[in-house]
Amino acid sequence: MCRPPRRARSAWSSRVPPAFSCNGSTARRRRARDPCESVRSTAGAARVTPASGVANVALPRLSAGSRGDYKWRGSLPMRCPRCRHENRETAHFCGECGTSLARGVACPHCATVNPVGQRFCDSCGQRLAAGGTADRTREPRAYTPRHLIEKILVTRGALQGERKQVTVLFADMVDSLQLAERLDAEEWHRLLDRFFQILAEGIHRFEGTINQFTGDGVMALFGAPVAHEDHARRGCHAALHLMDELRSYASGLRAVGREFAVRMGLNSGEVVVGTIGDDLRMDYTAQGHTVGLAARMEQMAQPGTVYVSEHTARLVEGFFTLRDQGTPALKGVSTPVRVFALLGVGPLRTRLDAASVLGFSRLVGREEELAWLDGVLARALESNGQVVSVVGEAGVGKSRVCLEFVNRCRARSIAVHQAHCPAHGASVPLLPIRELVRSFFGLGDGEPAEVVRQKVADQLRAVDPGSADALPLLLDFLGVPEPDAPAVSPGGHERIAAFLRRFVRLRSASEPLVLLLDDAHWIDRESDALVGELVAAVRGTSTLLIANFRPEYRPAWTGGSHYHQLPLAPLGQEASRELLHELIGSDDSVGDLSDLVRERTGGNPFFIEEVVHALAVSGSLAGERGAYRLTAPLESLTIPATVQSLLAARIDRLSEEAKRVLQAAAVIGKQFEEPLLKTVVGLGDHDLAAALGGLQEAEFIHQVSPYPEPQYVFRHPLTREVAYHAQLGEQRARLHAEVAAALEKLRVDRLGEYASLIAHHWDASGMRFEAARWRRRAALRVSSIKLGGRRRMQPR
């Protein structure tokens, strides 16, 4: 029997970030296939078993939608393991040969298939999922982690029928048919179980969702149904992690003479999420080649490698190491697409790192904030430890201000230790704390285990000679346990907390410290608790602890006399102008563009940078940074995919009702009145107040006047645009019609004044006749006003 190789794990090892790597196998290149063909051609070989149990799953049907889009429809008939007859999905026995289709429960540890009803694995003793049956495991719901199920189902109503920026991942077993032929049914079955288990675990780890089992692999989405602003990075992390896990599984199989390899492909683009069933099956329509191109990438990849399209590459550049594979001909794809091999994690970790590689724009408009931070630092240096949080909307410049500040501290020879919380941080707990501890001990990236052990031991001895017993714990925490050391006993978290408290106190006794926690809105629960310990520990020391985060994160450790908050507002007009001047230049052709960008981006420096970058990439701007020329007249600006994903992900974190209200408000306009909104969304006073409260708290909107009718305005023009455009045309049209009808009712005494607005909403709803009627009324009003005015001006 072949078993997955077991890997030695330390007390913290399940939490240690995976060593991302990817080998470049030279095995034969697989014949490129049509994406439709790839799915259909393997249909006969569909012996697919979801990871957490046993089920036979047929391949998704791929049908051409309108405009050449692809439409997948989940269809999972039950294939008999014995005669391969395709049975109805609900079948318990094969209609052809009578074989039971409920065959057992796969052990999550060793993948042995155990009889249904058995509580422990009869091979390794692991507890089996209670009552797991083949029928249940055929549903995506059965292999999706509970927190993701809840997230999707709670907001399902709001997720359906939306456009989403996603990254699609295809993973496929190489030469699965030949392998299946060489194995007996049971062994093949076990292999597939383990294979799908690894895939599911790796994909869910980075919050992807498996949309389909494709016979000998899977198709997964990152960024849908729930949006993620870093969907492409998550997809790449997942692919590297999976390759790592699958390679170690393959080496175990090779030891018993089985050749096993997997290839993967990724592409990023837009999909429209269709209906999401109770079982989490999702219908979606991919726009253009989003899915087909991901399948092509996978088909082109060498066994054991991951290929990504240029669309994904653009989003992850610098964060991952890529090798250019040129622009091979891709069947069915007329415009050349550059292909890259994904090799490993790159040198950049944060978006700010990426910006610094491109060359930071000169910091504008933050002198007051920096001076204020200097003041707090001065207090901390007098052994009066301080804690500051810098809070502001996404992209407003929190990380940049903090970076400028800590650079000034370094220039004054003040020791700075910093840690960053990555957006996928919740899937790999304790990353920021580990980074902070590494910084305490002066550990560089990729240092050999021996060097790490030596440095930690030396530093610990120098700073805290009395805590030598913390050494094994720290080494274990950093993922480099002493080879012969006994296992670290449970209770590690409390001991790490105690170490952090003690270390900060001792260190700051000899020199002042600045600790920076960047992008704390992504922090995981375990790290958050440890930051709470640090916040308490800095009191009475020469330490300044700064954290920056978005307003939606509300840490438990705020408050107290040594705590301060620095709210960061968008850049003012002058600073925005300066930044745009720095980015675009002052050519005559870009004068209006500069104003347009400033208006649309509302002083958010990240949005400003991204809009300018997107214009340069699309060719609308020619020349170079700081000296661009506009090459074509600009009627409108498209929202860059990066900004779209960021805002869509924020919107998806709202409650279903708040999101519905935001979408309706986006249809009404930049500014909206509560009674009109209430008529359109049809919510009761209490629910509407709760939704509006949530939207204000999350800083999507703010109230501009409470009386006579409460009026609100979108804080950011782009939020409104994303909330508007993510909805399907049909839904928008319906809402426009409702707004028009509501205006007719609510403005019955001022219809003339509102005629052109009502006409606009009827127009957008597709009701041309109504629109024309109201336009005429608006025109009559205008002419009567002019006429009246002229009459008044005429001498009597």
The site for ligand ATP (CB under 6 A) is made up of 351-352, 355, 360-361, 363-366, 392, 394-400, 519, 550, 579, 605-606, 609
Tell me which residue of 421, 416, 420 sits closest to 440, measured CA to CA.
Answer: 416
Beta strands in 469-589 (DSSP E): 513-518, 543-549, 563-567
Q: How far is the CB of 425 from Mg ion (least distance, A)?
A: 13
377 or 608: whose CB is closer to ligand ATP?
608
105 or 364: whose CB is closer to ligand ATP?
364
Could you count the other beta carbons within 10 Å of the beta carbon of residue 462?
A: 9
120 binds, among Mg ion, ligand ATP, none (CB under 5 to 8 A by kind): none
400 binds, among ligand ATP, Mg ion, none (CB under 5 to 8 A by kind): ligand ATP
609 binds, among Mg ion, ligand ATP, none (CB under 5 to 8 A by kind): ligand ATP
365 binds, among Mg ion, ligand ATP, none (CB under 5 to 8 A by kind): ligand ATP
350 or 671: whose CB is closer to Mg ion?
350
Q: How far is the CB of 392 from ligand ATP (least distance, A)?
A: 6
120 or 360: whose CB is closer to ligand ATP?
360
* CB 723, CB 643: distance < 8 Å: no
Q: How far apart are CA 457 and CA 291, in angstroms?
A: 51
Q: Which residue is nearest to ligand ATP (CB)?
A: 397
* CB 134, CB 116: distance < 8 Å: yes
234 or 678: whose CB is closer to ligand ATP?
234
Please give the backbone phi and psi of residue 784, each rounded to the nearest 5 degrees, phi first: -70, -35
* CB 759, CB 744: distance < 8 Å: no
94 or 584: whose CB is closer to ligand ATP?
584
Token pair belonging to 590: 């870009």
- First and final C-alpha spacing in the chain: 108
Q: How far apart are CA 527 and CA 437, in angstroms?
A: 12
141 binds, among Mg ion, ligand ATP, none (CB under 5 to 8 A by kind): none
Q: How far apart are CA 103 and CA 2, in angstroms?
A: 20
Q: How far is the CB of 704 from ligand ATP (least distance, A)?
A: 24
Tell me which residue of 677, 726, 733 sits closest to 701, measured CA to CA.
Answer: 677
Q: How far is the CB of 606 from Mg ion (least distance, A)?
A: 9
2 binds, among ligand ATP, Mg ion, none (CB under 5 to 8 A by kind): none
Could you count the other beta carbons within 10 Å of the beta carbon of residue 632?
A: 11
Q: How far apart are CA 130 and CA 116, in angstroms?
A: 10
Q: How far is the CB of 366 from ligand ATP (least distance, A)?
A: 5
Residues 6 or more apart from 374 whose CB is under 8 A from it?
A: 408
366 binds, among Mg ion, ligand ATP, none (CB under 5 to 8 A by kind): ligand ATP
Q: How far is the CB of 787 from ligand ATP (least distance, A)?
A: 52
Q: How far is the CB of 364 from ligand ATP (least distance, A)?
A: 4
208 or 395: whose CB is closer to ligand ATP?
395
Q: In three state form, how does the secondary structure of 248-298 look? A: HHHHHHHHCCCCCCEEEEEEEEEEEEEEECCCCCEEEEECCCHHHHHHHHH
395 binds, among Mg ion, ligand ATP, none (CB under 5 to 8 A by kind): ligand ATP
Q: How far is the CB of 560 from Mg ion (least distance, A)?
A: 24
652 or 770: whose CB is closer to ligand ATP?
652
550 binds, among ligand ATP, Mg ion, none (CB under 5 to 8 A by kind): ligand ATP
* CB 610, CB 647: distance < 8 Å: no
363 binds, among ligand ATP, Mg ion, none (CB under 5 to 8 A by kind): ligand ATP
106 or 390: whose CB is closer to Mg ion?
390
Q: How far is the CB of 405 from ligand ATP (least distance, A)?
A: 12
Residues that bind Mg ion (CB under 5 A): 398-399, 519
Residues in the chain: 796
Q: What is the DSSP string of 558-575?
A: --STTEEEEE-PPP-HHH
Q: How far apart are CA 475 and CA 466, in angstroms?
A: 17
Looking at residue 658, its amino acid is: A
245 or 528: whose CB is closer to Mg ion?
528
Looking at residue 591, its amino acid is: G
Token pair belonging to 28: 């034969």
Q: How far is the CB of 519 from Mg ion (least distance, A)?
A: 4
